[in-house]
Each structure stands twice: as C-alpha cells, then as structure tokens.
Amino acid sequence: MVINHEKKILLVEGNLRGWEFPGGYVQRGESIQAAAIREVKEESGIDIHITKFLGVEQNIEKSTVVIILKGKLVGGKLTISDENQDVGFFSFDHALNKINRKNFKARLLRCVDKKVIPFFIES
C-alpha cells in the first residue's frame, strides 16, 4: 500500500483483476522489500521507500502468501505499464469504490485499521 504526500492511495488497474494495490512476485535472490519496490516501479512508475510491515494473507488452497507492506512516495512519475490499463492516487473512499474484488476491498480496509495491524489472515 503506497501513500503519497496528500495521503492518497496508489492503485493500478490490471488487465484481469481490475483496481488493486501494485504487487507481484519475489525473484530468486531478491529480498521482499526489494521486490515490493521493484514491482511498484514496474507497475506504476513510482519510486517508494518502505515504511511499515502491515500483514500477511495466506490462501491455503491456492498455496499463496501475500505480504503487505506500506510505502511512501519518494519520486517517479505515474506511468502505465504493459501489465495494467491505468494507474493513479485516490482518496480512501474513492479507492474503496474503484476496487471491485471483495478480497481486495477487505485488504484495503485492514491496511488502514490500526487495531488489526499487523494482521495474519488465513483462508
């Protein structure tokens, strides 16, 4: 979850899943933080600094683990990549309305709820 100086949230509109946080996979020999920084840059053109660990979401059936970090904007320019159709910073309410998938909406809500951070979700 990337926040800019106006406290707006970065979302990318993927070709398949709609609006969501930028993200992706950790490459062999790459740290989780480095992967997060790289994926945000690749998908949005934005340079970030990681500021906080927010939580972990595990999907047992699909055998996936998502690690959610918080980052702040430090540079770059919003850019569409070959992985998405659009990119932008949005107020919390606007971001919540743009996200269509229930699990992505739930993720956003968890990421701003200080009472549940850090979270560990198993499904």
Residues 74-88, mean pLDDT to the nearest whole number: 93
Mean pLDDT of all residues belonging to the chain: 95
Share of the chain above pLDDT 90, in %: 93
Residues 94-123, mean pLDDT to the nearest whole number: 96
Residue pair 22/43 in contact (Cβ under 8 Å)? The answer is yes
Residues 108-121, mean pLDDT to the nearest whole number: 96
- Which position among 6, 30, 42, 43 bears the catalytic label? 42
Quick: pLDDT tens for 22-33.
999 999 999 999
pTM of the model: 0.93
Number of domains comprising the chain: 1
Between residues 82 and 68, which one has the greater pLDDT?
A: 68
Which among 82, 68, 70, 71 has a CA at the least distance from the CA of 46?
A: 71
Spatial distance between the Cα atoms of 73 and 91, rounded to a whole number of angstroms = 15
Phi, psi (degrees; rounded to nearest 5) at 37:
-65, -45
Look up residue 96 and give its two tokens: 């919540």
Spatial distance between the Cα atoms of 69 and 37, rounded to a whole number of angstroms = 10
CATH number of the domain where residue 75 is located: 3.90.79.10
Helix (H, G, I), strand (E, B) or coil at 111: helix
Residues spanned by the domain of 55: 2-122
Q: Examine the residue annotation and report whether 39 is marked as an active-site residue of this protein.
A: no
Over 90: is that where the pLDDT of 16 sits? no
Quick: pLDDT tens for 42-68.
999 999 999 999 999 999 999 999 999
